[in-house]
């Protein structure tokens, strides 16, 4: 988990849960889900600064990258094998926010209580937002080009956010951004970056498939006369699915992370990534931070633990 100049060793089968901090015996561990690329190496600052139990979920060779629900069910089983009974605390970093919602829904369907559900610099409705995902007001999900537009926009935004992380002055982030760009072009790159790109590509395809299912849409052929749902109905279908969770939802947004990518003309609708349309009372904390260095922010780290450990341990 150290922030080395060399790329870290890839995760191994059977190591889905990584216990970053043991905490005290009475701690309810915060279980944080990897980003869209499946790795947890960005969680180094959390490991160093947390003063309570912290577990991370990472993609390994045995993780089923088939559907969002398959992946969430796999994580549910892994968590249950380590902690049989709740309550549970969950967090999701970046695009894994949708996995976090699916996982929370599984816990709640099975009678478990999720007492904390924190989202870090992402909310799933951005998958359907201008620039951040596929703008369904312009390109309906049924359209053959919608999948490519979604994946291209997601990759492009990740590369841009990675470059500007840390004020744009972090060489390691620039190398990651350059490597992801090279991998997308089919050029050789470091094994870690190639794996990151491949997992992210599979994950984004899973997400697109999942949105089709949630919205009750069949992906179209090349025909130009496909009957399409209006964009606002598609967004509402996703929002209704998200609203099914009972857990208290909070979100932490970096000023030059996801919201830093929103064009001025769309900020009125997407200033909070759409969370208040689903959860009007959600706690939203804006931080002067980027998509990755938000994980080193003391306000984030203390807030994630506040109420779950004595203030003397913060």
pLDDT digits (tens, 9 = 90+) for 18-35: 999 998 878 999 999 999
Phi, psi at 290, each rounded to 5°: -105, -170
Confidence at residue 4, expressed as pLDDT on a 0 to 100 scale? 39
Give the chain's residues under pLDDT 70: 1-10, 220-230, 312, 314
Confidence at residue 231, expressed as pLDDT on a 0 to 100 scale? 78
Confidence at residue 111, expressed as pLDDT on a 0 to 100 scale? 98
Phi, psi at 39, each rounded to 5°: -95, 160
Confidence at residue 198, expressed as pLDDT on a 0 to 100 scale? 93
Instruction: Tell me the C-alpha distance between 37 and 94, whole Å.
Output: 9
Please give the share of the chain, as a percent, with pLDDT higher than 70.
92
Q: Which DSSP helix (H) or strand (E) runs through 304?
A: helix 298-305
Alpha-helix residue ranges (DSSP H) falling in 59-190: 68-82, 97-109, 146-164, 171-184
Confidence at residue 229, expressed as pLDDT on a 0 to 100 scale? 63
Confidence at residue 301, expressed as pLDDT on a 0 to 100 scale? 97
**pLDDT tens digits along 236-290:** 999 999 999 999 999 999 999 999 999 999 999 999 999 999 999 999 999 999 9
Instruction: Tell me the C-alpha distance between 148 and 237, whole Å.
Output: 21
Residue ranges and CATH numbers for the domains of the chain are 17-313 (3.40.50.1820)
Instruction: Tell me the C-alpha distance between 163 and 209, whole Å.
Output: 29
Confidence at residue 314, expressed as pLDDT on a 0 to 100 scale? 63
């Amino acid at each position: 988990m150290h922030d080395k100049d060399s790329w870290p060793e890839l995760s191994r089968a059977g190591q889905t849960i990584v216990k970053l901090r043991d905490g005290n015996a009475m701690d309810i561990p915060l279980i944080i889900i990897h980003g869209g690329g499946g790795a947890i190496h960005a969680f180094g600052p959390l490991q160093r600064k947390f003063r309570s139990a912290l577990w991370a979920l990472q993609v390994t060779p045995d993780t089923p990258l088939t559907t969002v629900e398959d992946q969430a069910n796999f994580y549910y089983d892994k968590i249950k094998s380590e902690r049989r009974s709740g309550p549970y605390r969950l967090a999701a970093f970046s695009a894994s926010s949708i996995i976090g919602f699916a996982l929370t829904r599984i816990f709640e369907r099975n009678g478990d209580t999720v007492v904390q559900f924190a989202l870090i610099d992402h909310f799933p409705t951005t998958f359907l937002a201008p620039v951040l995902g596929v703008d369904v007001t312009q390109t309906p999900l049924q359209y053959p080009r919608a999948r490519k537009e979604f994946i291209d926009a997601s990759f492009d935004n990740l590369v841009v956010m990675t470059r500007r992380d840390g004020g744009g002055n972090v060489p390691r982030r620039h190398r990651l951004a350059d490597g992801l760009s090279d991998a997308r072009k089919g050029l050789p790159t470091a094994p870690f970056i190639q794996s990151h790109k491949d997992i992210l590509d599979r994950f984004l395809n899973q997400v697109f498939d999942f949105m089709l299912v949630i919205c009750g849409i069949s992906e179209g052929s090349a025909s130009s006369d496909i009957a399409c749902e209006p964009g606002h109905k598609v967004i509402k279908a996703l929002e209704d699915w998200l609203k099914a969770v009972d857990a208290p939802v909070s979100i932490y947004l970096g000023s030059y992370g996801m919201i830093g990518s929103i064009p001025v003309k769309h900020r009125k609708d997407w200033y909070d990534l759409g969370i208040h349309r689903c959860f009007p009372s959600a706690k939203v904390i804006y931080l002067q931070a980027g998509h990755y260095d938000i994980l080193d922010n003391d306000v984030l780290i203390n807030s994630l633990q506040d109420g779950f450990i004595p203030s003397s341990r913060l």
